[in-house]
Structure 1
Amino acid sequence: MVGTEDLRRSVVVALQTSAVAAGYYAAGWLGLMRPLVVEGAVVTPIWPPTGVAVACLLVLGMRCWPGIALGALLIMTSLTTLRPAAIGILVGNTAAPVCGSLLLRKVGFRTDIGRLRDGLALVFLGALTAMVISATVGAGLLVLTGRLDAPEFWPVWMAWWVGDAMGVLIVTPVLLLLHGLRRPLRVTRWKEALCLAVIACAVVPAATHSSISLLFLVYPLLIWTALRFQLAGSMLCALFASVMATVAATDRIGPFEGLTQVEVMTKLQAFNGAMALTALLLSAVITEQRNTRRSVERACQELVEVLEHLTAGEFPPGWPAMDDGRRGQPGAS
């Protein structure tokens, strides 16, 4: 019996590791479809594998880190030979999401991101702080191996760091949302969601591909989706807008036309970062306020029921009955 349990546990761990590695590898190739070149180094405006890694670590626990390392190894071997620098980059890409998830667990992060503190923790600990590791290790090894000149360290480091952070800010909330999805929307909500989707499909491509700089048109749409659908609406809208902006930036069209490589990266990262922060923090604040209001309404309803029973000379359900002549004193013992 013990041997069967151990075998079953080993099979589950192996399947989870394989699934995480496959997800990391697939996300990596999605990110590599739209690369940008900064100071001769190829970087991605958004590196989705970091978002996949952090989400898997938060949901499955630390036991899935070998899957992250395996996925990173598969990406590295498909791009280059396994030299010491490549192995070092692999270690940095694995250590960054692991440290990010540990920091989030340390502060009591909740995967539903239903509190403002959860949104702030994901931004400042899971993304901005933890991804310093992968950017520093990656850009530093490129300098040490001579593939990057020392003056070019900071531009490449910045692009690497922001790309990894954007993966956490945009991809991780979407995956956590899908994991926590329990019930479908009502019919009336589906109609509103479909209306929002149609508007987004019209507004976002126009804003990101127009020769006139109309990127600001995305923000009213983000606010609308956050108010009506909280994290689900705002983060899906942010993900779609980020993908469309990345396509426009790599094709050098719309608001990114005529810019240098560094200017394209800076403008794209500023847009993606501001949009992700707006969507994540606004939806967290709205969700927290709605949960607080529901708790207050529930407490008021319970208080009304208690007062109704006491006014009728009855004890509310669950209260101990008093047989010693003190029935009018609920607090007596």
Structure 2
Amino acid sequence: MADKLQQIPFSVLDLAPIVAGGNAADSFKRSVSLARHAEKLGYKRVWYAEHHNMENIASSATVLLIAHVAENTHTIRVGSGGIMLPNHAPLIVAEQFGTLATLFPGRVDLGLGRAPGTDQMTSLALRRYMHSVDQFPADVQELRDYLATPDRNTPVKAIPGMGTEVPIWLLGSSTFGARLAARLGLPYAFASHFAPTYLMEALRIYRDEFVPSASLSSPYAMACINVMAADTTAEAERLATSFYQMARGIVTNERRPLQPPVDSMDGIWDEMEKAAVMQMMRYSFIGSATQVEAGLEDFVTQTGVDEVMIASHIYDNEARLNSYSLLAPLFKKA
């Protein structure tokens, strides 16, 4: 049953959740413990996402968190899933990731997103002026140029950064990123863990329109999904109620730290909220190891992705580590 899974690597998306009763310092400790655990189990990479003004996510200073985790691990790739490029000057990102690549050679990924990763008011606080997302393709190319080996006459150089050739990924939740990644010959990661609608179309466009580049000769697609695995189905379903509460907060705009699991979601969400959560989180696999294996096998068969990234929104850290442990026998080790 797991033949296809054994052919591809699995990776980790850690949103560095702040849990109820905890704080950002606790979140960072959890991130280090998860990265070390994933490294031992053979996961290929662990990524962190840039979000701002969110009470339940501690990864706003994404570059610093990447550096902290890289310093506390040895072999697993670390990177961004992603850096929201409209929030930053490309030169600054090149210098930051050039520094990371110099400190941790061969281990750093740079995933780039087009959204601000926050609300409009916070976007203004971050940038002081609104930088149009229409500038994104040009910014990606500018950043790519900074990380390449420059011509001696290039007036502006990223130091460190130039010549590091940090692998750049484009992230997406629609077809825009798929087309741009294809045109630039870059690897592509789809955010199907919260935006499932365009997954299949985006993958088709990316493969059909892919143009080989110096860094990538053929399409390489990764999809992120939600997985909550446990020793029993009942325990997995209970753990998933923390995830459901978090997702409901996205739907209702009532964000708060990740909540402990509950015996039932009855009285917490109404039918409309439940339907919205289930649609948004369609690619979620919850259950025992056997149940999750069957779901993942079907997902990989349908999508043909080259890599799977796992997000596990679990309140208890030991239960979260166990969820990743239960998946480890299924995939190709890094």
Taking structure 2 as the reference length, the TM-score comes to: 0.30
Q: Which has the larger radius of gyration?
A: 1
Taking structure 1 as the reference length, the TM-score comes to: 0.30
Q: From the two aligned structures, give the one with the greater strand fraction.
A: 2
Highest RCO, 1 vs 2 (Cα 8 Å, sep ≥ 6): 2
